[in-house]
Amino acid sequence: MNKTILVTGGAGYIGSHVCWRLHDAGYTPVVLDNLSTGHEWAVKWGDLVRGDIGDADLIRTICTDYKPSAVMHFAALTDVAQSMREPDRFFDNNTARAKTLFDTAADCGINHFVFSSTAAVYGVPHADGYVNEDTPLQPANPYGESKIRAENALRALDSRGVRSVVLRYFNVAGAAPDGIGIGEAHWPETNLLPRVILSGLGYEGPLSLFGNDYDTPDGTALRDFIHVCDLADAHIAALHHMQNGGASDIVNLGTGHGYSVKQIIDAVETHLNKTIDVRIAPRRPGDVPVMLTQTNKAQRVLGWTATSSLNDIISSAVTWHKSAFYADLVPSLQSHGTK
């Protein structure tokens, strides 16, 4: 079997960590990325092909030249608030172009896909905040809806003998161990943990806390945080599942434990040994108060369980953002504005 894997969005945060883990597992990633939010420096474990997932001719060329045995698809727009402002852009990139990728790669004979999806497909969960893979899909924002449509486009290929594992992420955070040289690097940053850390380190001003009046124990939103390295390992497990004859499936990836925004802020303050200037702001459209997952299916289908603690997640992220490498990146990140 050809151990080359096409990784779309492999120059991005999650994609680069998956490429690292693929390499360690004996695979050769080939990255397809337009570098709109990814970084050339993050492509360390295989070739980079610069281009768009909606370019069918380019997909065919990659399949001819590299003969990948599977596709792992990460290239997507992910900012919930932005999706509320620009829904058409999300449906174009996350759905229409993804469908072009799926259909073209399948036409080239690729029959294993691992798809990066999101808990945003579930919308507002029941009172206890927990969802599982059978929870009805009721997305609260266009981002979640765009991912549902892409999931459906991929699953439609089952009739052609194409197998896929859809992985619905919860809140991904953390970074690879110091020395690997990859981590989260966007500007402006939209995810909670790096926003808290960057504010605490002085890279950004006061931290905006979007809503402290939710029906939760401390009034701030409650989330399930998963270490990006655990997440990357789940993708290898999904690939092995299909290679061993496993059927197409949908699996949630999280820890099953909830932490509030305030708890995250408090924990970062402890790691940095300083108080962060927090300003209360209105809730953001499309956000939900509580989102946690049950983990039974990931254990049963993939044999996978997240092993990292919240302390592991925060410690690795703080180390990354305090590194000299990240400090050298900041001027470039700021000048580009969206990376």
> 3-state class of 233 per DSSP?
helix
Placement of tokens 């594992």 in the chain: 165
Residue 234 in tokens:
């789940």
d(CA 187, CA 179): 22
- DSSP secondary structure, 111-170, as one string: -EEEEEEEGGGG-S--TT-EE-TTS----SSHHHHHHHHHHHHHHGGGGGT-EEEEEEE-
> Which residues have a Cβ under 8 Å from the Cβ of 221 and sit 6 or more positions away?
210, 211, 214, 260, 261, 287, 288, 289, 290
Q: Dihedral of CA 156/87/238/106: which sign? A: positive
> 3-state class of 102 per DSSP?
helix
Among the listed residues 13, 122, 143, 169, the single catalytic one is 143
d(CA 155, CA 250): 10
User: Is 169 part of the annotated catalytic residue set?
Assistant: no
Please give the single-letter amino acid code of residue 229: C
CA distance readout (Å), 249 to 158, 166, 171, 279, 314: 11, 6, 21, 42, 31
- DSSP secondary structure, 240-290, as one string: HHHHTTPPPEEEEES-S--EEHHHHHHHHHHHHTS---EEEEPPPTT--SE
Buried b (16+ CB within 10 A) or exposed e, 12-24: bbbbbbbbbbbee
Strand partners, 7: 31, 72
CA distance readout (Å), 207 to 130, 261, 285, 311: 28, 11, 18, 21
Residue 41 DSSP symbol: G
Active site residues: 143
